[in-house]
Structure 1
Amino acid sequence: MMNNRIEVLRGLLNYHYYTYKLRDSEQVPGVWKKATLLILLSGLVFGVSAYFGIGSEYLSKQLTSVSRAEYEMQKLLFMIGQTILGLFFGAVMIFLPALFFWTLSDLELKKLVAVQLFVIPVLLLEKVLVIPLAILLGLTEISSPFSLGILAQYITGNEFLIQLLSTMSIFKLWIIFIEYKYLKMLMERNPKIILVIVISINLIIWLFAALFSFIQFEKIL
């Protein structure tokens, strides 16, 4: 019996080696534990981002209209809310694609969750890299140099389209690449069909993320 403990960084950087191990293993121990840790890490990253005021531009507008105590309370509530959002984000990005892939294959759910464990660090890395850019250059998340958000702001005034394109970045292409490489080996189906499946679930996630951000944007206005 092959015992294949999940090594997130190794699986992320050496997918050629790890696809064979993941495919041929009879057991995949440590999946739920690592999923929980990555979800908690996601909450922490979102909380740290909120601590530095990223995404809280609407609070700055209220600085002169509310008391200092009320302003600090709103900042605290914002940070708590973003931390909870980070936990939700981590859980969704691990389990939603895994469940989607599971319905289209005969693979064990654990193995598909394991694939998503390699995706989360990439998404969190993007979030972390935006923090210094926001602090030092004042860039908002939709103006990240890693995404199409900047280009979108030049070609359209449609806020939803801007939000949608800002969710598409080089990091998102990276996770599509990771999911495609693993699923092509694990599912053993036509590579073109695998690519369509991977792109489809990611497009759905981007659309919902853009819709959520757009709704939040409208509330701020």
Structure 2
Amino acid sequence: MSGNLLDLFWIAMWETAVMVGISGAIALAAGLPIGLILVATAPGGIFPAKWINWPLGGLVNAIRSTPFIILLVAMIPLTRLIVGTTIGLWAAIVPLSIAAAPFFARLAEVALREVHPGLIEAARAMGATRAQILRHVLLPEALPGIVGSFTITIVSMINSSAMAGAVGAGGLGDLAMRFGYQRFDDAVMAQVVVVLIAVVTLVQWSGDALVRRLDRR
């Protein structure tokens, strides 16, 4: 690999890390509360409210069912409104965040639902408020599952960031398109794939290790 191409690889990796890092933080900050609301407002939950649960669940499902490349295009007006442009690194963060937040919310919801109902009933019997049950029972008990869910979300976002790069957002996907696909350089394409596999493997291994550390069972 030439020195110039190696420099481009480092820049592309940095751009991918920034895209996934910022979008992942937004997805965590938005997706976890959504997951909590979906669990709490479900029938039989601690705050049952169909008028919240059904519309919110429908919105989450609608975004999750939309292919990312279509969402990327559909979000162009919103992206332009928020960051002032529809190309480049920061423009990719908007659709990545919007796609990742409901995806993580559903996974977090599943993890929260796995908390044994007996623990919730025991907390109620001891006089815990519903807010205390959320904070001191549901979240701590579901934490390993939530971390595992967030790991899956980050892996999915790495894949999506490569797709966003293919339409000019920068990162490894952009590098693969410009220097691999458009120049018919199979070596660059293969190197990008190897790097992506290595990054995904590292993220998955780190997430799994943290889950094992947190799991008290």
TM-score for the superposition, normalised by structure 2: 0.33
More helix by percentage: 2
Greater RCO, 1 or 2 (C-alpha within 8 Å, sep 6+): 2
TM-score for the superposition, normalised by structure 1: 0.33
Structure label with greater radius of gyration: 2
